[in-house]
Structure 1
Amino acid sequence: MKKIGLVGGISWTSTLDYYRFINEGVNAKLGGLNAAECIIYSLNFGDVQAKSWVNSYELLLNACESLKKSGVEGIVLCANTAHLFADRLQEAIKLPIIHIGVETAKAVKKCGYKKAGLLGTKFTMEMDFYRDKLGEYGLEILIPEAPETRDYIQYTVKEELGIGFVNPETKAKYITIVKELADRGAECIILGCTEIPMLINQADVAIPVFDTTKIHSEAIVDYIVSS
């Protein structure tokens, strides 16, 4: 079993899900009392927000280097937006980083969908790093058209879900946003922020939903138990 390093705390609420999903997955495959051998470097999300994501490379690099010194064999960035630096970090630390965008793209493509709606932070929705990774697998990506809608998602991810607050009014608004994407032709929805599954899931909307936290965790489990 491989030892994995998790860069978490971005935010701590979704890092809890990663820890649970990974350990449940390893146990399901290996049985008994087996669980993942992992090390979590939990960043202070306040530091990331103070710098903004685009200026947080050094924070992430320090976390990855600390995990490498601890003897991990692979790295996980426990946030979609953190993958802004995934390729650069992998080159710097010389360890594999299990990429959430790649694993999500594989999952969507496997189901035969070609046009997906994407919900995430403003960085994930608007910048090329994530959409291009999905595009490499032939996916056409739709994001909410109105800038104020993308601002709203950013605000609620940061100020509500990032501290574990699930607001029923926010949930209703997200469901409306999903419907708008479906009306524009989205065949499925990618929950491209690891906090968003706290708010909505497949039971809430009519079109298929891809939970990137679960998809990523399943890929991590496969890596851990691989020979």
Structure 2
Amino acid sequence: MQTIGLIGGMSWESSSVYYAALNRGVQQRQGGLSSARTLLASVDFAEVTALQEQERWDDVATILSDAARAVERGGADFLMLCTTTFHRVATQVQDAVDIPLLHLGDVIADACAAQKVSRVGFLGTTFAMSRPFFTDHLASRGLAVHLPAREAHAELNRIIYEELVRGQVKDASRRFVVSLIERLWDDGAGGVVLGCTELELLIKQADSELPVFPSTTLHVAAALDRALA
């Protein structure tokens, strides 16, 4: 079994989902008392979020690259960023280490291709929806990406940062997000990407008639495939 290097803390709630899912996945696949071999470097969410808001991306890249080098030195065989938003600096992080980075965008694109979905709605933080770094990566893999109307971004961002990051899952928020998915369907999307770990706490496949692509679940499955190959 390979050792998985995790860069987490963005948020710690998101990282705990990754850690639990990786260990459950190994146990399900291997049986018995098996668990995942992982190394986790967890950064301060408040610090990197403040730098993000100031557009100090070189500083963010330095923090995450330092974390990546730490797990590489610890013996990790490959690397995962336990976040969508901070894939903004994925290239710099990859360049800082010699082990491969399992890019979330590639994992999502592969999952969509497997289901023959070429047009997807994308839901995430305001930053991830309003900046092209992630949607352009999906587009480079042949996906047409639909985004919710700009006036909905602030409320979706509030749900993520004020509720889900704090472990609060509310029915009213679920209804709001489902309404966004329905509008994306009307716009021509053939599936919807939950581009934020915390959204998977709120939305399940049963909530949508469109295929749901839960980014963290897919990321974990791809990591398990690689680690256990």
Shorter-chain TM-score bucket reads over 0.9
> Residue type of the partner of 1:189?
V
1:177 corresponds, among 171, 180, 183, to: 180
Identify the residue that residue 122 of structure 1 maps to in structure 2: 126
Identify the residue that residue 226 of structure 2 maps to in structure 1: 223
Shift of 1:155: 2.1
Structure 1 unmatched runs, 5+: none
Q: Give the SS at the match of 2:197.
A: coil
Identify the residue that residue 8 of structure 1 maps to in structure 2: 8
2:106 corresponds, among 80, 102, 105, to: 102
Deviations 1:103-146 (A, max 9, x none): 0110011101111000011222122221122112211000012x
1:186 corresponds, among 165, 184, 189, to: 189
Shift of 1:73: 1.4
> Residue type of the partner of 1:221?
L
Shift of 1:167: 2.1
Identify the residue that residue 142 of structure 2 maps to in structure 1: 138
How many residue pairs are counted as aligned between the two chains? 225
Identify the residue that residue 50 of structure 1 maps to in structure 2: 50
Shift of 1:31: 2.2
Shift of 1:76: 0.8
Question: Quick check: 1:109–1:137 contact (8 Å CA) kept in 2?
Answer: no
CA distance in 2, matches of 1:165, 1:4: 29
Shift of 1:26: 1.6
Identify the residue that residue 91 of structure 2 maps to in structure 1: 87
CA distance in 2, matches of 1:165, 1:97: 31
Question: Quick check: 2:68–2:96 contact (8 Å CA) kept in 1?
Answer: no
Percent pairwise identity: 34
Matches within 5 A, 1:19-58: 19-52=19-52, 54=55, 55=57, 56-58=60-62
> Residue type of the partner of 2:39?
I
1:153 corresponds, among 156, 159, 163, to: 156
> Residue type of the partner of 2:99?
L
Shift of 1:45: 1.1
Q: Give the SS at the match of 1:195.
A: helix
TM-score calculated relative to the size of structure 2: 0.93
Identify the residue that residue 17 of structure 1 maps to in structure 2: 17
Aligned CA-pair RMSD: 1.4
TM-score calculated relative to the size of structure 1: 0.94
